[in-house]
Structure 1
Amino acid sequence: MQSYVDQNIITNLSFGVWQDGQLITEGNYGPISETISAPVSDTTIYRIRSMTKPVTAIGLLILMERGHFKLSDPITKFLPEFEENEVLADYDSDGVLYTYPWLYSPTMEQLLAHTAGFAYDRTNSGVIDQKLNESGISDSPDTDEFVRTLASFPYVSMPGAEWNYSFASDLQGAIIERITGQSLAEFLKKEVFDPLHMSDTGFYVAPRESVRISGVGRLFQGEFKYIELEASDFTAQSRVYFEGGHGLYSTRSDYFKFLNMLRKGGRVGDHQIISSETSDRFQRNAIQYRGGHGRQRSYGGGAGLGFGLGIGTIEEPELAQLPAPKGTMYWTGALGTWFWIDPVNDIVFIGMTQSDGAVEPNMMKGSMITIYGDPNSLNAEMR
């Protein structure tokens, strides 16, 4: 794995492998950033992007267990802005959208499973995604404005019809705020991070700790270069909109505490974050699955993959072309962080780097091959 740092394919790499809850091997390669030559470690701070999503989902499930909603409740119970929404039917070459009325509101379960019908703001996807990107929705000044902007666009599919990577996790965060009257940052700190002693995880990093934040790199025509993110990226304590889908910073050491809680059925020490029943439900595939034609599209076109109530699942390893066993849970972050939990062999893997853009080869698949071997006997072992 060190070779990817040595070859300037990625900025740095910190990884750990745990079995039976014990760290059995780890690796830390490369400097923290362009200006900080100290090597990365399990306490280097990374922008974990979409690895925020499972954390937000657990936060919402905590409120479900406290009786604030049922999985069958409509999301409009908390998000009335969507009561008049319609579903996209088609669009013309001028970008004019044609819609039809929905038949029913998405449920809380569909919101958690990303089958509620929402889009994202990616420029390389469908027309609604592109229009959301043009709207600047990710720069919303507060949660309510984010919800209003999203509600001004139609659903991309009828609720429950298919899996779509979407703003569903950000809406989960909005619901948490509306139920509790707290910001998402305050709620997750009190209910998840503090009980799990995740002191280095949050939506911003104190300025005095900024020297621990990993630099971000990008490949330009085969040459690796560091890039600068906005100055307020990690110290904006005054902001009021916290993205439930991609806003967290964390360390490898901290994030293991969260995954270890899931591994142990929602409990760590004296703290029962969620019940074992809810933990099992969170980890169990919740989307329509038709033997290799699942709607989860993160890897391999979705073949062999599922999705629980906030986390990806491997349903058919051969179809997914992933060597981890059936029932393995996983997720990734856009800047190069990834993890999986293998309940069969009781293995947890966490890898962290920071690369703006696609990281080749696929780091998660490659790291799985390192642990399990390549089931297809491909010459793809990471060295």
Structure 2
Amino acid sequence: MKKVLLPLLALLIVCSCKEEPKGKAPEKVIIHNKIITTTAKARIDSVLNAFVQSGNIAGASALIFENGEEVYYNAFGYADIALEKPMQRNTIVQIYSMTKPITGTALMTLFEQGKFKLDDPLSKYIPEFENMTVYAGVDENGKMKTEPLKREISIRDLTRHTAGFPNRDDIPGLSKLFRKADAMNRENTLTQMAEKMAKVPLWFQPGAQWEYGPSVDVQALLVERISGIPYDEYVQQHVLSPLSMDETRYFIPKKDRDRFSKLYIRKGEGELVKDTTTYSNYTAHWPLTRGGSGLTSTLDDYMRFAQMLVHQGSLDSVQVLQPETVKLMATNHLPDSVTKRSWLPSKGQVGFGIDFAVRVAPPKTPNENNGVVGEFYWDGAASTLFWVDPVNQLTAVLFVQLFPYDQIGLHKQFRDAVYGPYPF
């Protein structure tokens, strides 16, 4: 008889050997093949070290849990090249858009309390957005044209990036107007941000297309309005403190700044220049506590957030969200009618849930990002990355501090190292 080789992620069905009561079928135990093997660890080490040695990143660190246990940690290179300060486990980094899933989690705690419905109009809670208009191009004289809303922005639009807020520099007339509004000035409060945003027409009709933008910053104000508590206080009380994420903050106190990584801008192959503009974002208290970016964190802190998600909303006997809420967040909310999806398809076979990309199909080619159907994840502008793989009970956090966002294929190679060669 020929032997049959099982694929890497196949399930092994094992029947219990103990005697069972009459009439009862033997119990079946489903065992997943281990993902992070000795070979996988060697692959990950090789990939991260090679990027550092190439001079295309200053430093990198990664932490992976599988089945609730730490299975991989390592760090390479520097958090500060000039001082030869090594990248370490407790290095603090700028996570940029990895702030977004934390904001979404804070918002969904209010959803669980019945404070709002996803299809409620945004203006019900933030009336500043009640009388919006929609961009309709420019006339022959270059004057911007607008049209009425077909429907109002919903909260669901905010959570899946279909609200219509402009977020590009090349929209004739509209981009200039949005820049002039200066809504994201860190001296603004969240309310002032919304007032300024509301004076600018939407780029497209709500629900018409997917376009990344300031929707999650508006979610922060939504949390503030519904709860009656300043956003930074609410997220601290309901997400960060319950999860003991003590080093995930908008402000880094002086005593911890020696652990704050520098951020580097890649100018070319092996050429890095230290960023000099973002440091003060985190060393002073600013009025604008953005929901879409602005937090700093450490590997272990962010892993606690990821572990809460893979354990369906709870960690260490603390329930942050209910399992059905996590499932809702990790479900694709983009209908087929949303065909314009900007750069989202570059992430692979994904849709978008509530502040997460959601993998809906396996990779079609070796050039696509590796991942398992059901995975949900996001990344940050400084090339950080995390994902939650419920199928394999695996969570991964990758920290680097690199601008522009991953132009070197780091995320692709890191995923390949974790899961193995395609098809995995």
Q: Normalized against structure 1, the TM-score is what?
A: 0.91
1:82: which partner in 2? 129
Q: Which entry has the higher C-alpha Rg, 1 or 2?
A: 2
**Alpha-carbon distance change, 203 to 52 in structure 1, aligned in 2, over 3 angstroms:** same
Distance 1:198 1:57 in 2: 16
1:272 to 1:94, Cα distance in 2 relative to 1, 3 A: farther
Matched, 1:359 2:406: yes
Q: Post-superposition shift, 1:194?
A: 0.6
CA shift in 2, pair 1:344/1:297, >3 Å:
farther
What pairs with 1:219-258 in structure 2 (closer than 5 Å)? Answer: 219-222=266-269, 223-230=271-278, 232-237=280-285, 239-258=286-305
Report the secondary structure of 1:146's partner residue. Answer: helix
Unmatched 5+ residue regions in structure 2? 1-47
Q: Residue 296 of structure 1 contacts residue 305 of structure 1 at CA under 8 Å; is this kept in 2? A: no
Measured at CA, do residues 18 and 102 of structure 1 come closer, stay the same or move farther in structure 2, by a change above 3 Å?
A: same
Q: Is the 8 A contact 1:28 1:40 kept in 2?
A: yes
In 1, the alpha carbon distance for the partners of 2:121 and 2:345 equals 32
Pair 1:317 & 2:362 matched: yes
The CA deviation at 1:76 is: 0.3
User: TM (normalized to structure 2)?
Assistant: 0.82
State the Cα distance separating 1:148 from its structure 2 match. Answer: 1.1
2:248 paired residue among 201, 212, 234: 201
Q: Give CA-to-partner distance per residue, 1:114-151, whole Å, 9 cap, x none.
A: 1122222x436786455423543221521111101111
The answer to whether the Cα contact below 8 Å between 1:162 and 1:288 also exists between their aligned partners in 2 is: no
* Structure 2 letter corresponding to 1:136: D
- Partner in structure 2 of residue 306 of structure 1: 351
The aligned runs of 1:208-223 (5 Å cut-off) are 208-222=255-269, 223=271
Whether the aligned pair in 1 keeps the contact of 2:347 and 2:369 (CA below 8 Å) is no
Q: 1:262 aligns with which of 309, 313, 316?
A: 309
Q: 1:295 to 1:55 in 2, by over 3 A?
A: farther
- Per-residue deviation, residues 296-317 of structure 1 (Å, max 9, x unmatched): 4445446621000110111123
Q: Pairwise mapping of residues 123-162 of structure 1 onto structure 2 (< 5 A)?
A: 123=169, 128-129=174-175, 131-139=177-185, 140-162=187-209
Question: CA 1:128–1:256 in structure 2 vs 1: closer, same or farther (change >3 Å)?
Answer: farther
Equivalence for 1:381? none
Alignment of structure 1 residues 173-212 onto 2, 5 Å: 173-212=220-259
Cα deviation, 1:301-337, whole Å, max 9, x if unaligned, reads 4662100011011112324822211111111100110
CA deviation map 1:36-92 (0-9, x unaligned): 433222211110000001110111111111121111211001111111111122225
Cα distance in structure 1, aligned partners of 2:106 and 2:336: 26
The share of aligned pairs that are identical, in percent, is 28
Unaligned runs of 5+ in 1: 378-383
Answer whether contact 2:143 2:173 (CA < 8 A) is retained.
no
Contact between 2:97 and 2:380, CA under 8 Å: does it hold in 1?
yes
In structure 2, the residue corresponding to 1:5 is in which secondary structure? helix
Shift of 1:113: 1.4
Report if the CA contact (8 A) 2:135-2:204 is conserved: yes
Where do residues 163-178 of structure 1 align in structure 2 (5 Å cutoff)?
Answer: 163-178=210-225
Change (3 A) 1:138 1:286: same
CA contact (8 A) 1:323 1:368 kept: yes
Contact 1:177 1:184 in 2 (8 A): yes
RMSD: 2.2
**Are positions 1:38 and 2:64 aligned together?**
no
Match for 1:132: what amino acid?
A: F
Count of residues in Structure 1 that have an aligned counterpart in Structure 2: 373
